[in-house]
Every structure is written in structure tokens, then in C-alpha cells.
Amino acid sequence: MASNPNVGDRLSYDGAVCTVRYIGEVSGTSGSWLGVEWDDPARGKHDGSNKGVRYFTCRSKSPNAASFVRPTRPAEKPLSFVTAVTQKYACELAKTAVIKFSNKVAEEVGFEKIQRKQAQLAELKIVIVDGARIASAYSEGDEPISQVCPKIIELDLSRNLFQKVGKVIDICSELPVLRSLRLNGNRFQDILNDDDLEQAQNSLKDIKDLALEETFMSWEEICHVASKFQTLSTLSASANRLSFLPETPLALSTLASTIVSLNLEFNNFTTLTDIASLASLKSLRNLHLKGNHISTTTQDPSHTLPVFSTSLKYLDLSYNKVSSWAFVDMLPHCFPGLASLRFSHNPIYDNPDPEFSTQSKSVTEEAYMFTVGRLGNLKTLNFGTISSSDRQDAEMFYLGRIGKHLAAVSEDQGADVIKQHKRFDELCEIYGAPVVNRRKEINPAFLEARLVTVHFSFHPAGEEDKVVERTTRIPKSFDIYAVKGIVGKLFGAKPLGLRLIWETGEWDPVFGFDDEVEDSDEEEDEEKREEIDAGDAGDVDDLGESSQPDGKPGKWVKREVELQDGPRQLGFCVDGLEARIRVEFR
């Protein structure tokens, strides 16, 4: 323990690490106190104030991150990096058990032998000294790091007693093959004015991965440190309470050509414009925003939305607060290269379409369909590959649901509904426009409410290419025998020799639609298409119309219902006040 601690010193008491924020008296008590902020906020009792008087401010936002301790309380001794590594890995030699056979010593195998191998410090490649009370590279009598453990490739120095980043650089400068560095949970001070950091480029030039999670560093400080790593490709800055990323042109320009993956999970962003400055990272491929508070693209419609480089392919927005599909519709604009998305655990997944949700599908399945249907270039969603058949299913389901929305409003309001679906015209071009059956509210006492407008289509015998159409209004109370009598008169045919097929305008899933979805192989899909095109479609004909609206075979068929002879009334056989019926010879 420092004999005379100063503000900013890092101390450890019984394994709990803290930072000294205040030295002095506390009203109502005698003697001097140390006001400390604990790294673990659950360890404290207040936020730096006592009986209405504030003595210091914590970097943590927890109301219980601070305590007052006496300067005389013994703190645990800080260690050097060499000492910490030696204690953790080399001391296992002393624990290696032995077995004697006829007074001959034989080394025990198994775990003890593994421990012995670990103790060969010079061969260590992965070193984890998390929470080891390290404050410096060396203490008196330590051998050079370059001799003790020169082959370290991955190094974890998280949650230690460093005050300056320069102390970390002293360690890295003697590790020539170091490629990954984790500094999570440290509390560095005066980062922007650390002279040792300014001279660190040569020591850090080959490190590819850097983790600065839960350091409570500002975005400017994070970028300032990261920019010293000349070939940095992966940066993790999770849990740093970041709510906005200001422009840092110099630092970001240094990182723009190297950063491939950026992790900003569990921060405090609420909109996509909060991270607009990241659009300058032209090499960025993966962006992790899990566990923030993102709910919209921007709070101010006058703000220009960020447009990220087409190099950005993967985006994680899971566990945020998105509750509107309008947000999803804007993703292709903000992320034009987006091919893989994680989007689960947002409020929109709890109730994707409250007005028309059905019992036949779970809300998760509906949300999946809507997401795929709205994002035409997406290749994977929530870690699952989207096959060509998955996409067809989702897009047709989505288009059918748009049709239901259109049917629920007046024709004048239809344009407003279509505006909410940016891919509507594109999907209509692929699959054809959805059937819109608008049902008018009619007084049931009126005659109009008791009539069904029926559109009949008929292929005369021997003239299959010719279609004769007739439209008439038939009372709902007429049974199917009576309806066939009307049809016989309309087309000059014997009524009982005809079949009446009600074309519902809706689509039904077939071919194992409920089977477990697995990642499909594009080559297998193509082979299946070729098989069907080559003549296997005969097995499908029993199901009725088996092709998609664009002629491609798939897992959907038009739903058609034959109106069977009998006394059942027409009003119970078809839905609504309008129906389309195909007339065929038996």
C-alpha cells in the first residue's frame, strides 16, 4: 500500500479494487478518510455524498459505488507483471505431486503434468492475469519480460491497478508476437495527455485485437488509444455508458482503413444517428450494437440519416427497443451492404402485427417472415441462413398480409397503407398483386346484405382456350343445388354435370411447411427445381395449382374449395359479399 495515497491511486482491499477519489475529513467524524469508488458498485454504500454533503463524484452511475475508508486500513500490495505471471503459472511447479516406486521418484501424470507444462513460462502463448493487482511491468529484481515469457500472443490484463496506459505499453513493448490485448475494467487516467501513449506506435503496431470494455472511457479517449494500434482490426468498447459518438476525425481517419469489427454492446445509444460518425469507417464489416436502447433511426427528422459503407455486412441489433417496422424498412438505406442481421428480442418481435396476427403461426415466426420480406438482400437472420424457399415463403406471406391490411381500409386509404411497405411494388412484380376483398359495412336489414355478387368463369366444351365470364347476384340463402341451376342457365349446360370451384384468392403452405427448417444448400435447391421442371410436377397436381404467381414451383398453393352438391346455403360456403367461382365439367 502507498504510505501516502493520492487521489487517483488504485488500491485493492481483500480482492476488491477501488480508485481513490477524495482524501480529507468527513463532517461529523474525526480524522482523515479516503473516499473511494469501487470497481464493483455493489461493494459500496453511497455515491460520494454523506448526510447531504457531496465530497466527490464517481465515474459510475450507481448510487452505491462509493465508500469512506481509513487511510490506515492495510491495502493489498500491488504486483508487477512479471511477478503476477510467475505467481500464477510458475508456482504450480511446487505443487506437482510425485509417486515413489521402490524408492524411485516418478512424476505423476494427468492434471499435475499439465500444470508443469504451463509453468514453462518461456513457452506461454496465452496469458490471463485478470484481477491480479498488476500496477507496473517490473518490480525490483524481476527478470526482463522478453526473457521470462517472450512468446505471448494473447494477453488479458483486465481489472488491474493500472493508472496510466503507458504502464501497459511498457509490457507490450517487450512482447514481439503479441496480437490480442484485453484491458477491460481498468480505470485509466488522463489518457489524452499520456506522453507514453504518444510514443507507443512501434510497441503496438502488430496488435490486431483490442478490448476496452467497462473502462468508462469517453469515445474520444477510446479512439485516441485505438488509433495508436496501426493494424488494429477488432475493437471492443462494450459497457462504457456511451450515448453518442462525436466526430473524432484524426483518430477515425487512422482506424478507417483497418477496423473490420467493432463491438459497442450494452451502451446507451437510442438512435442510429447517435453512431453516425462510424460511417467513415470504410473497412468496417461487423457492427455489434446488442443491448443498447435503440428504438428509432433518429429523434429529429431534420437530421440526415447515416449511410454506412457497403463493406458492412453484419449488424447485431438484438435486445434493443425497436417497436416499429418503419425502422426495419430504413435499414437498407443506412446499411446498403447488409447481408446478415441479428434482430431478436426487440419489442416488435412480441407482437409483429397485432391487428391480423393468427393462431396458426407463433409471433416469432410472423416476425421472422416480416423481417425477411422487408429486407430483400438479407442472407442470414438471427444466425440462420435464409434459403431461396424461405425467402419465397416469407415474401408471399408478407405480401398476403399487406393485402389484408388493404382490405381493412377504404380504397381511398389504400395508398397510405402501401406507403408503409417499401417493397410492395417490387413484390407485386415478382408474385402478382395480392387479392384485396374489401367488405362493405351494410345494414343487415337491407336486401344488399343478403346477396352475394358472384363472378363465374367457364371454359366451354371443346374450347379450352376460350373463357366465358358472367356476373350475377345470388341470395345467400340459396343452396348449392339452386346455385348450379342458375349456372346451368347462364352457360347452357346441365347443372348436375358441373363442378363449382370457389377461388379464395389466398395461398396455403404445402410440402412439409411445418417441418423443421434447416440451412439449405443452394445446389440441392437447384437440383430439386430441375427435378420438378423435368416432370415430377405430376405429384403436385393432386394439390391443385402448385406454382407461385411467377410460375416457380414452391411450398405454396392457391387455396380453392369445391362447393359440394347439397342443401348447404351459399352464404355458409363463401366468405363476404363477393366471390369468384370457376365452373368446370365433371
Over residues 54-82, the pLDDT tens digits come to: 999 999 889 999 999 999 999 999 999 99
User: In whole angstroms, what is the distance from residue 309 CA to residue 337 CA?
Assistant: 7
Q: What is the pLDDT of residue 130?
A: 96
Which amino acid, 582? R
- Each domain of the chain, given as residue ranges in start order, spans 10-69, 78-207, 447-514+543-585
Which residues have C-beta within 8 Å of that of residue 574, sequence separation ≥ 6?
452, 502, 563, 581
* Angstrom distance (rounded) from CA 514 to CA 516: 7
Cell (9 digits) for 77: 500490495
**pTM for this model (two decimals):** 0.73
Give yes or no for residue 405 having a pLDDT over 80. Answer: yes
Q: So what's the pLDDT on residue 508?
A: 67
HSE toward the beta carbon, residue 415, CA cutoff 13 A:
1
Q: In CATH, which of 3.80.10, 3.30.980, 3.10.350, 3.40.50 is domain 78-207?
A: 3.80.10
Cell numbers linked to 164: 496510466
- Sole residue written with cell 427445381: 529
For residue 524, is pLDDT > 60? no
Distance separating alpha carbons of residues 557 and 310, to the nearest angstrom: 37
Give the residue carrying C-alpha cell 435464409.
386
Beta partners for residue 263, in sequence order:
236, 288
Once rounded to an integer, what is the mean pLDDT over residues 37-57? 93
The closest alpha carbon to 239, from 268, 277, 276, 275, belongs to 268
d(CA 389, CA 521): 11
- Kindly indicate the confidence band of residue 94, based on its pLDDT and cuts at 50, 70 and 90: very low
The more confidently predicted of residues 9 and 409 is: 9
Only one residue has cell 478490448, namely 211
Which of these, 336, 224, 320, lies nearest to 269 by C-alpha position? 320
The residues, ordered by sequence, that sit 6+ positions from 282 with a Cβ below 8 Å of its Cβ are: 256, 257, 309, 311
Q: What letter represents residue 450's amino acid?
A: R
Three-state DSSP at 109 gives coil
CATH number of 447-514+543-585: 3.10.20.90
Cα–Cα distance between 253 and 338 in angstroms, integer?
23
Widest CA span in the chain: 114
Instruction: Annotate 294-306 with b (16+ C-beta within 10 A) or e (fewer).
Output: bbbbbeeeeeeeb
How many Å apart are CA 327 and CA 333, to the nearest integer? 10
Q: Which residues contact 163 (CB under 8 A, 6 or more apart)?
A: 8, 9, 10, 135, 187, 188, 189
**How far lies 107's CA from each of 96, 117, 158, 570, in Å?**
8, 12, 35, 91
H or E element: which one contains 327? helix 325-334
More confident residue, 30 or 537: 30
Structure-block grid coordinates of residue 444 = 343487415
CB atoms within 10 A of CB 426: 13
Tell me how far apart the alpha carbons of residues 118 and 248 are, in angstroms, rounded to a whole number.
43
CB atoms within 10 A of CB 472: 15
Query: Which pLDDT value is given to residue 303?
Result: 84
* Model pLDDT for residues 333-383, shown as the tens digit of each residue: 999 999 999 999 999 998 888 777 654 567 888 999 999 999 999 999 999
Q: How confident is the model at residue 250 (pLDDT cuts 50, 70, 90)?
A: low
Q: Which of 393-407, 520-534, 562-576 has the highest mean pLDDT?
A: 393-407
Nearest partner of 567 among 472, 483, 471, judged by Cα: 483
Give CA separation, 79 vs 30, 87, 132, 516, 575, in Å: 33, 10, 7, 55, 80
pLDDT at residue number 428: 93
Q: What is the pLDDT of residue 163?
A: 93
Q: Are 66 and 38 in contact (CB under 8 A)?
A: yes
CATH class of 10-69: mainly beta
- 330 confidence band (pLDDT: 50, 70, 90): very high
CB–CB of 43/14 below 8 Å? no
Question: Measured between alpha carbons, how far is 507 from 420 in angstroms, rounded to an integer?
Answer: 23
Cα–Cα distance measured from residue 175 to residue 193, given in angstroms and rounded to the nearest whole number:
24
> Which string of DSSP letters, residue by residue, matches 427-439?
HHHHH-PPP--PP
**Least confident span in 90-104, 219-233, 533-547:** 533-547
Tell me: the pLDDT tens digits for 528-558? 444 434 444 333 333 333 444 444 445 567 7
CB 24 within 8 A of CB 33: yes
Please count the other Cβ atoms lying within 10 Å of the Cβ belonging to residue 431: 20
